[in-house]
Structures are given as structure tokens and as C-alpha cells.
Amino acid sequence: MKLTRSDLWSLEDYAEKRDEFRAEVMAHKKTRQVFLGDHATLYFEDSLTMKYQIQEMLRIEKIFNAGEIEEELSTYNPLIPDGSNWKATFMLEYPQEQQRRIALEKMGGIEHKVWVQVGDHQRTYAIANEDMERSNSTKTAAVHFLRFELAPQVTISVKQGSPIMMGIDHAELPYEVSLSADNVASLMADLT
């Protein structure tokens, strides 16, 4: 469900609700993150995570005019799943800048090597960075925006409880993991 201005609180109302809402969102996010080894994480987005992101941007930037609010909505609404897909922020995280720079220089195209596999179906590879390119053949950015577009039969298998695996097929950071029951339940809610 895409967000509209009527889904958002005014700056004053948000100030009153922020602590409680933040706690709710942080608990929700725990079931929506998938660790792909020590240095890569998928943070699956939905209308709740995007509402929080927008509310925080409005608060930080002190945005209250309708046009600017609409700009924030148009920026973040594309990250909300459409019922046949999962959308995620893919982060490559290294504690030291030098280490991160060296690693990213070896991972060109990694965002196109992130996959999901439901049951016995073929892997579905992410569609990456539809807003702008963040990588080339030799290096990549630390943050990417991914969409996993699921075929109808794959969606049915998710709803029927088939196991779900996710991973990376890149030579510099190969990894695969089975999703937990909490991950599966949370992501299943994104599919109609």
C-alpha cells in the first residue's frame, strides 16, 4: 500500500508519538532483516518502514509544506512492495573505511548477484537500483535498492510454506542462508 499525506502525522503529532512509534518500527524491522554473512544485509522495506523513514525526514528537515511532503512520498513510495515482490535496501557494511573501500573495489555488480529461492523454484535474482546506477564492472556502492519480482507460482509456494533461501553469487562474497520462520511470516505479509 503506497502512502499518502493522510497517512502521515503533522510534525507536532509526530513529536508526541515518536518514541512509541520508533519502538514499534524497530521491533518490526528485526523480522525484516536478513544477514548474508558478516558484511552484507538485506533490510526489507514495507509501508511501515517507509512511513517511519518519511516521518523522520520530515522531522529532521522540518518539512511541513504540502509540495515538499509529496516529494518525500514520491521518493520513498517506490520502496514499498507492490504485492508481487519484495523490496529491500542492500547494505555492504565494513567497520573501517579503508577496509570498506578495498572490499567495494572488488565487488562490481554484486547487487545483480543477490537472489531468493523459494522451495524447488529457480532462483529469482534482484532487479537493482532502478532509480540510478550505483556500480560498474570494477567497484560498487555500499548501499543498493533491490526488487525481487516473484512469479505467481513462486508467490503461491511462499504462501504454502515452502522454505525460502537467500544468498549472493558473487565470487568476493558468496553466501546463502535459510530464512527464519519470523522472516518468512513478515515477508509473506508483503504478497497479495
Q: What is the pTM of this model?
A: 0.91
Q: Tens digit of pLDDT for each residue in 92-117?
A: 999 999 999 999 999 999 999 999 99
C-alpha cell at 73: 512520498
C-alpha cell at 22: 520508533
Same-domain check for residues 134 and 189: yes
CATH number of the structural domain spanning residue 87: 2.60.40
Of 43, 42, 50, the residue nearest 2 (C-alpha): 50
Same-domain check for residues 66 and 111: no
Q: Which domain holds residue 10?
A: 1-30+47-80
Q: For residue 131, what pLDDT is reported?
A: 74
Mean pLDDT of the region 135-146: 86
C-alpha cell at 64: 511541513
Same-domain check for residues 152 and 168: yes
> How far, in Å, CA of 84 to CA of 155, rounded?
7
Same-domain check for residues 166 and 105: yes
Same-domain check for residues 132 and 59: no
Q: For residue 134, what pLDDT is reported?
A: 74
Residues of the chain with pLDDT > 70: what percent? 99
Same-domain check for residues 92 and 177: yes
Calculate the average pLDDT of the chain: 95
How many domains does the structure of the chain reveal?
Answer: 2
Same-domain check for residues 154 and 64: no
pLDDT at 132 over 90: no
What is the edge-to-edge ordering of all strands in the sheet holding 114-118?
A: 124-125, 114-118, 164-168, 175-178
Contact 137, 126 (CB under 8 A): no
Same-domain check for residues 74 and 121: no
Same-domain check for residues 192 and 99: yes
pLDDT at 87 over 90: yes
> How far, in Å, CA of 88 to CA of 67, rounded?
27
Contact 179, 165 (CB under 8 A): yes
- Indicate the SS3 state at residue 106: coil
Same-domain check for residues 71 and 19: yes
Same-domain check for residues 103 and 149: yes
Give, to the nearest 10 degrees, the angle between helix 181-188 and helix 152-159: 130
Same-domain check for residues 94 and 73: no
pLDDT at 166 over 80: yes
